[in-house]
């Protein structure tokens, strides 16, 4: 998660050492209340006519989104989160999920094992120096023709917000799908968003991964363009 600017301690370490559990305790009732209706990611894959077989949620929290995917598609469903209390809760309430405590920049999984990797509201807390590692790790575990899902705020411009519950911590809002779409292997295929106020809007973005079509042969481009140097 991200650098504690005044003490030299990363937010990742702070969330692992207790702030993740504190977040869980503060938000448990709110998250539980909407657990059964938070099915937009399920709808995305129904719209895409796709049934995932293996799913990883990074920042799975209480596990309710992952549970809804598992219930809808009977997929192998794995989750990782820095809060040990959230993981314990999810294991108790959703025993069919496979869950571990950890963070996004070092995923304990083999390469190319997941059809879907998704981030729901967690990238805003991640250390800025970890973002390249996070993108690389998600790409490493996501299979060819898999889908990457990002559900988060998308402001009109990137900005930093002071974390009100602990001095020196922040959240960072931006379009996190751009961590992958610079790579021609990733194409946006589905989006649903709403503007919540003048500065922020929440959105769910689905990217499709296809390395095979990322770089078409130059000869094909020449056939389409009489003067490719112009």
User: How far, in Å, CA of 194 to CA of 204, rounded?
Assistant: 9
Angle formed at CA 48 by CA 221 and CA 112, multiple of 5 degrees: 70
In this prediction the pTM is 0.84
The topology (CATH level 3) of 11-224 is Rossmann fold (3.40.50)
Q: At what angle do helices 84-93 and 20-33 cross, to 10 degrees?
A: 40
- Its sign, for the CA torsion 174, 177, 183, 189, is negative
Per-residue pLDDT of the chain (230 residues; tens, 9 = 90+): 333 343 467 989 888 888 878 878 887 777 766 655 468 899 999 999 999 999 999 999 999 999 999 999 999 999 999 999 999 999 999 999 999 999 999 999 999 999 999 999 899 989 999 999 999 999 999 999 999 999 998 888 899 989 877 778 888 999 999 999 999 999 999 999 865 555 567 899 999 999 999 998 765 555 555 544 44
Buried-exposed string 110-125: b where 16+ CB fall within 10 A, e elsewhere: eeebbbbbbbbebbbb
User: How far, in Å, CA of 138 to CA of 118, rounded?
Assistant: 9
Query: Can you give the residue ranges of every domain in the chain?
Result: 11-224
């Amino acid at each position: 998660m991200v650098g504690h600017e005044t003490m030299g301690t990363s937010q990742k370490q702070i969330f692992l050492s207790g702030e993740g559990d504190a977040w869980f305790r503060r938000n448990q009732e709110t998250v539980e209340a909407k657990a059964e209706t938070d099915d937009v990611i399920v709808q995305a894959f129904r719209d895409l006519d796709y049934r995932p077989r293996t799913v990883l949620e990074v920042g799975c929290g209480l596990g309710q989104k992952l549970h809804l995917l598992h219930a809808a598609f009977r997929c192998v469903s794995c989750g990782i989160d820095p809060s040990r209390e959230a993981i314990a809760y999810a294991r108790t309430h959703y025993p069919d999920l496979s869950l571990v405590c950890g963070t996004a920049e070092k995923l304990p999984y083999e390469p190319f094992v997941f059809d879907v990797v998704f981030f729901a509201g967690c990238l805003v807390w991640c250390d800025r120096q970890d973002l390249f590692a996070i993108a690389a790790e998600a790409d490493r575990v996501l299979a060819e023709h898999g889908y990457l899902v990002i559900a988060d705020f998308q402001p009109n411009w990137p900005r930093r917000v002071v974390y009100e519950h602990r001095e020196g911590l922040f959240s960072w809002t931006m379009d996190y799908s751009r961590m992958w779409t610079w790579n021609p292997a990733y194409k946006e295929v589905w989006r649903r968003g709403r503007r919540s106020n003048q500065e922020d809007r929440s959105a769910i973005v689905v990217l499709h991964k296809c390395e095979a079509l990322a770089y078409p042969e130059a000869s094909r481009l020449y056939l389409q363009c009489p003067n490719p140097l112009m």
